[in-house]
Amino acid sequence: MSKRAGQTQSLSQSHSSHVVFLPFLAVVFILWVLYRSIFHFPVWFDEIIGKAVFFGLPVSLYISLTADKAICQTYAVGKIYRGLLLGVLVGGVFGFTAAVASFLLRGVVIQSAPLFASNAFWWQFFLALMTGFWESLFFFSWIMVVVQQKYHRSELKWQLGMIVGIYLLFNLPNILLRSSTGLMVVNQIILLAIFALGQSLLFLKTRNFYALAVSQAIWGMVLLVHTM
C-alpha cells in the first residue's frame, strides 16, 4: 500500500470513529447550559470543579469511546517544556500589547506595580490556569482535533469557523450572565471570536496543549489587570 493510500485510509477510519462527535457535543452543551442557568456557584468552583466535570470528563469519555490517540498526543509529556515557554512568550505579547493599548487609548501611565507580591494576584492566576487548562483541553485538544479529522475535506477556513463558532456557543451563557447591555454582549463576542481564532491558529501551528493553556491564562490576567 502506498503512503498516500495509507493516509487516505487513516483519514477515513478517523472520520468513521467520530460518528458520535456531534451528538456527544450536543449533549455536553445542553448540560453545560443547564448548569450555568440553574446553578450560581462561586467563580473558583466553576473554574476548578465545574469545568473539570463538564469539559474534562467528556473528553476522557470520548477518548475511551473512540480510542483516538491524536487527542492524547496534543498533551504528551515531551511537549511540556516547549509548550510552557511558547505559552509564556505568546502571553507576554498579549501583556505588552494591552499595556501599550491602555496607554494610547486611555492615557494610563505605565509603571511597575507590586502585583506579584499579592496573594490575591496568585489566586486569580491559579484560577486563570484552571480555566486555560480545561478550555484548551476541551476546545482544542478535543474539538479542534476531531473537527480536522472528521471534516478533513473541508477548507481550513470552514474548519476554523466551526471551531470559533463552537467556542462562542459555549461561552454565550456566561456572556449573557455578565453583560448588562446589548453593546457589551457584541463587544464580548467580538473579543472572544478574535481570541478563539488566534488560539486556533496557534494550535494549528504547534499542536501543543500546554502552549494554549498558559497563553490563555496570561491573556485572562492581562484582561483582569487592564480592566480593573
C-alpha distances (whole Å) from 135 to each of 16, 153, 171 are 25, 26, 10
Which among 28, 64, 13 is positioned nearest to 138, based on CA atoms?
28
pLDDT band (50, 70, 90) for residue 5: very low
User: Is residue 207 left, alpha or beta, with left meaning phi > 0 and alpha meaning psi from -120 to 50?
Assistant: left
Query: What is the tens place of the pLDDT at every residue in 197-209?
Result: 999 999 999 999 9
Average the pLDDT over 1-18 and give the result: 50
Across 33-99, where does the E strand assignment appear? none
> CA Rg, the chain, in Å?
19
Torsion on CA atoms 90, 94, 97, 100, rounded to nearest 10: -130
Q: Is the dihedral of CA 179, 127, 216, 31 positive or negative?
A: negative
- Average confidence score pLDDT of the chain: 85
Query: What is the tens place of the pLDDT at every residue in 161-192?
Result: 999 999 999 999 888 877 768 888 888 899 89
